[in-house]
Amino acid sequence: MQVPQPEFHEAPDGARIAAYTWLPEAGQPRALVQIAHGAAEHARRYDRFARFLTARGFGVLASDHRGHGATAASTGGRGVVGEDAWRAIVTDLKRVGDHAAAAHPGVPLVLLGHSLGSMLARDYAQEYGADLAGLILSGTFRTLPGMELDSVIEELEAEIAERGRTAPSAFIPRAFGAFNDAFPHRTGFEWLSRDTAEVDRYVADEDCGFPFCAGLCLDWVRAVRKINDPAHLARMPRDLPVHLVVGAEDPCNQRLTHVSEMLEDYRYHGVQDLTWRAYPEARHELLNEINRDEVQRDLLAWLDARV
């Protein structure tokens, strides 16, 4: 079966946001699950999980972020974005979600964000949480591992002053360069999954693993500070169910340190339905891991209990 063809949503600034929709064969979906993908990948990679959900009565929608996938052509190419890209991407997610909600009135909407997408999802929940029936954060981490944000912001601002926002930046390779050190090195992306076939697909995919422009890097780092600000966290509805799923061997979460800190943030905020699971030996991309069937079943059970 082929991935659905994209539908393009034109943003006010002219960016054409590619969105994909998977629907059950018959009847109204039980709920809509909107997926926010991670850094340097794209929405089509979630086709297998989307089909798993549609076979069980859910609708799924996912869009390519600015600088990613089929959206990149309208924003300057892979990894390239315009001004204030983070806020624009969050707004794009809202626009895509609203479009699906209008087509299926009264159907609950759950937002699932992976990695960078989990940070976008956390921002979305702060801005538009009242629209959501649930929030799932996959491969998530509270902050960028091993970084002092203020100094990184200064470095990126200096880089932009010298070369411009759209110039490729060494920030991503520098930030994630050591992630593969703990694993046998074959491609350099073994930290993503224990499944070598999935790693090879990632490496062979020209829409994966590309560098970011300096502007997108800066917007991301600034956003990390924003979403962890208690004043912004306090804007998220306390009755919004939140579920975290991570690999216990995912280097992004620094041996679950950045997961524990996020859970403490949500507990302090008073989130009433907060659950989480760490999968032993699993790495970053749980939906592409060797135990992905287990992960999918667990996510389905969480969804079933809440919609």
What CATH number did the domain enclosing 46 receive?
A: 3.40.50.1820
Decide: pTM greater than 0.85.
Answer: yes
pLDDT digits (tens, 9 = 90+) for 167-188: 999 998 888 889 999 999 999 9
List, for residues 212-258, the tens digit of each pLDDT value.
Answer: 999 999 999 999 999 999 999 999 999 999 999 999 999 999 999 99
Q: At which residue do the structure tokens 């974005």 appear?
A: 81
Domain-embedded: residue 116 = yes
Q: Is 194 within a domain?
A: yes
Q: Is 1 among the domain residues? A: no
Would you say residue 37 lies in a domain?
Answer: yes
pLDDT of residue 176: 86
Between CA 237 and CA 240 the distance in angstroms is 6
Task: Domain of residue 210: give its range.
Answer: 7-306
Q: How many CB atoms lie within 10 A of CB 251?
A: 20
pLDDT the model gives residue 46: 98
In a domain, 16, yes or no: yes
163, part of any domain: yes
Q: Identify whether 68 is part of a domain.
A: yes
C-alpha distances (whole Å) from 103 to each of 21, 22, 96 are 11, 13, 11
Residues of the chain below pLDDT 50: none
- Using CA atoms, how far apart are residues 267 and 278, in angstroms rounded to an integer? 18
pLDDT of residue 177: 84
**In 136-213, where does DSSP find H-type helix?**
149-163, 171-176, 196-204
pLDDT at 147: 87
Domain count across the chain: 1
H helix intervals, 140-291: 149-163, 171-176, 196-204, 214-227, 230-233, 257-269
| Per-residue pLDDT, 1 | 65
Residue 76, in any domain of the structure: yes
CA 128/CA 130 separation, integer angstroms = 6
